[in-house]
Amino acid sequence: KVIKCKAAVAWEPNKPLVIEEIEVAPPQANEVRIKIVATSVCHTDLYHLLESMHPDGFPTVLGHEAAGIVESVGPGVTEYQPGDKVIPLFIAQCRECRFCKDQRTNQCEQAWRATDRPGVMAPPETRLTCKGKTLLQFVGTSTFSEYTVVNAMAVAKIDPAAPLDKVFLIGCGVSTGYGAAVNTAKVEPGSTCAVFGMGGVGLAAVMGCKNAGAKRIIAVDINPDKFEKAKVFGATDFVNPKDHDKPISQVLAEMTSGGVDFSLECTGKVEVMRSALESCIPGWGVSVVVGWTDLHDISTRPGQLIAGRKWTGSAFGGFKGRDAVPGLVKAYLDKKVKLDEFITHKLTLEQVNDAIEMMKSGKCIRTVLNVSPE
């Protein structure tokens, strides 16, 4: 049956979201309908709404960092049953394509359908409608809704003991930052790291550096209020570029006798990506681009790379979602990764615009939106 429920609809770019009654169609073949319990605003939602503002990307239901419970499954779905606790994935894992079969990457040919239309950031088909109009499903998930329908390849089944109002963070921010450090950068014990941007993703990257054994972790942000939080996750130093009249790369080089071993850029700003690369030590420094943008080119002088620095990128922390997310949930339950410390505010879905404003102004790390009771 069609479900009528509440959702936050982005009718047009750069406007507040509107709480509407929408229709969520039954899951078709190889699809899963999920009751969303908890979700959060991530910077990529803001990017689509306020920065990219591509007219073909609206109307849409945003949201991609979430956890919920399977309500029903479509024909052909055997891996999931109603009642299962799950985390929807914005990068699918079909397990069949050449990328899924290769341990070097978490890219998936099937996943590209959700994001490969530039600016649209949604697959062509959708199960959501409102007032006779189809609503795009942002990166194939659309979690700012009481119910959503997701391809079974983009769902991770998790431990039934997991608290959904905490583990929803594994749906994007924490996995993205943590994995960028441990999987992509491959941070080494005893190394020196710099993380640019102390939002949720950056703090998770700090946690990844610490868990990988880095001895010095420099947190870089223009908001000094973020340092206390960064310390909780393992940062040893804090640098505010605004406190210096020379380039941040020079400041870090002077602090570290030549540059850091690993740098992670978690802001989505191309000028910061350049600074992060140029903060690395020549010879073996590795810089990972984590923050998302598709509006500008990145640039540096060739000599920066000829000197032996490596510049690479990371999506969802390099984790193959269906395989890795259950393990990340277990790591939280075993107290090996922190999640509670990221959550600074708790609101309801109806207050989503407040959550957006708090993220824009840097007043929160993560605001959990409690959508439905668990």
State how many domains the chain has. Answer: 2
Note whether residue 333 is domain-resident. no
Q: Does residue 241 sit in the same domain as residue 362?
A: no
Indicate if 167 and 182 belong to the same structural domain: no
pLDDT at 351: 98
b (16+ CB within 10 A) / e for 314-342: bbbbbbbbbebbbebbebbbeeebbbeeb
Beta bridge partner(s), residue 6: 21
Residue 136: give its domain's CATH number.
3.90.180.10
Cβ atoms of 158 and 329 within 8 Å: the answer is yes
149 plus 217 within the same structural domain: no
Strands 216-220 and 192-196 turn out to be parallel
Q: Do 92 and 10 belong together in one domain?
A: yes
Provide the token pair at 354: 């407040």
**Residue 16 sits in the same domain as residue 162:** yes
CATH number of the domain within which 255 lies? 3.40.50.720
Catalytic residues: 42-44, 64-65, 94, 97, 100, 108, 113, 172, 366
Per-residue pLDDT tens digits for 102-144: 999 999 998 876 667 778 999 999 999 999 999 999 999 999 9
DSSP 265: E
Residues of the chain with confidence (pLDDT) below 50: none
Q: In terms of domains, do 145 and 190 share one?
A: no
Write the burial class of residue 4 (CB in 10 Å: 0-12 exposed, 13-18 middle, 19+ buried): exposed
Q: Which domain holds residue 230?
A: 177-314
Predicted pLDDT of residue 114: 63
Pair 38, 368: CB distance under 8 Å: yes
- Domain presence at residue 286: yes
45 plus 150 within the same structural domain: yes
Q: For residues 207 and 348, state if they share a domain.
A: no
Mark whether 91 and 145 lie in a shared domain.
yes
Please name the residues in contact with 243: beta carbons below 8 A apart, sequence gap of 6 or more: none
Task: Let me know if residue 254 belongs to a domain.
Answer: yes
Question: Is 327 among the domain residues?
Answer: no
Q: Does the residue 320 lie in any domain? A: no
* Calpha distance 6→215 (Å, rounded): 47
Same domain, 149 and 225: no
* pLDDT computed for residue 117 by the predictor: 79
Residue of 163, 210, 171, 130 lying closest to 42 (CA atoms):
171
CB 206: neighbour CB atoms within 10 A?
A: 29
Q: Quick check: is 319 in a domain?
A: no
| Domain annotation covers residue 162 | yes
User: How many residues can be counted in the chain?
Assistant: 374
Does residue 48 lie within any of the structural domains?
yes
Same domain for 14 and 138: yes
The type of residue at 106 is N
Alpha carbon 360 to its chain centroid, in Å, reads 16
pLDDT given for residue 110 in this prediction: 83
- The string of pLDDT tens digits covering residues 253-299 is 999 999 999 999 999 999 999 999 999 999 999 999 999 999 899 99
Residue reference for tokens 């994001």: 115
Angle ∠(109,113,117) on CA atoms, nearest 5 = 125
Same domain as 183, residue 166: no
